[in-house]
Amino acid sequence: MTEGTTSAVETEAAAGADESLVARLEQEGDIAADYLEGLLDIADLDGDIDMDVEGDRALVSIVSDGNDRALQRLVGQDGEVLEALQELTRLAVHRETGERSRLMLDIAGFRARKRTELATLGAKAAEQAKSSGEQVKLRPMTPFERKVVHDAVAAAGLRSESEGEEPQRCVVVLPV
């Protein structure tokens, strides 16, 4: 075989690995959903669990048909409770599978709204760095928030770095 060609066996192996990853992530989602349903029952909160796989992580969302105000208690101020629940859910998955989980939890659309806001912030910071020729340092952020900003900056054609120590770690957008 020449360099740059892929055999049918390699293609099949890659497809099998992708299917295996998706199956593992779906299992993580199922375990997380069971854990979160139990939590909702204990807290006497109404909510439906949605599961999806995006890239290399399972996404689990708690949504409500009616009033999201009750679920807002599970989000907390600036998503602090949500972050804690995500870690507890990851631990529940780890307990069942024995493997570290990168599962992402969203409640009442909080992370989806936050992702939109942060993508806009990242694009504006990239534009500011381009026009001024100077680096732009943003406020301290959680790992989730930093990842969204890094992705937005990369989409704008610039580089960014994280600097500092948790919980004061922030994104710095670098000019061209």
Which of 2-11, 13-22, 23-32, 103-112 is predicted least confidently? 2-11
Q: Express each pLDDT in 103-135 by its tens digit.
A: 999 999 999 999 999 999 999 999 999 999 999
Give the three-state DSSP class for 103.
coil
Predicted local confidence at residue 55, as pLDDT: 83
Write 160-168 long-range contacts (CB < 8 A, 24+). Answer: 160/122, 160/126, 163/137, 164/140, 167/140, 168/140
Q: Does residue 1 lie in a domain region?
A: no
Helix axes 8-43, 80-97, angle to 10 degrees: 120
With cut-offs at 50, 70 and 90, classify the pLDDT of residue 64. Answer: confident
pLDDT surpassing 90 at residue 96: yes
Average pLDDT score over the chain: 90
Q: Which DSSP string corresponds to 110-163?
A: HHHHHHHHHHHHHHHHHHHHHHH-S-EEEEE--HHHHHHHHHHHHHTT-EEEEE
Domain co-membership, 124 together with 77: no
Predicted local confidence at residue 66, as pLDDT: 72
**Global model pTM greater than 0.85:** no
For 52, the domain range is: 6-108
List strands edge to edge, sheet with 104-107.
48-54, 57-63, 104-107
Distance CA 126, CA 156 (A): 7
With cut-offs at 50, 70 and 90, classify the pLDDT of residue 69. Answer: confident
User: Per the structure, how many domains does the chain have?
Assistant: 2
Domain co-membership, 36 together with 99: yes
CATH number at 56 reads 3.30.300.20
With cut-offs at 50, 70 and 90, classify the pLDDT of residue 11. Answer: low
Q: What percent of the chain has pLDDT over 70?
A: 90
Does residue 79 contact residue 142 with C-beta atoms inside 8 Å?
yes
Domain co-membership, 77 together with 150: no
Domain co-membership, 100 together with 144: no
Average pLDDT over residues 136-161: 95
Domain co-membership, 18 together with 104: yes
Does residue 153 contact residue 138 with C-beta atoms inside 8 Å?
no
CATH number at 151 reads 3.30.1370.50
Instruction: Quickly tell me which residue has 């740059």 as its tokens.
Output: 4
Distance CA 167, CA 63 (A): 29
pLDDT surpassing 80 at residue 14: no
Nearest to 90 by CA among 10, 130, 32: 32
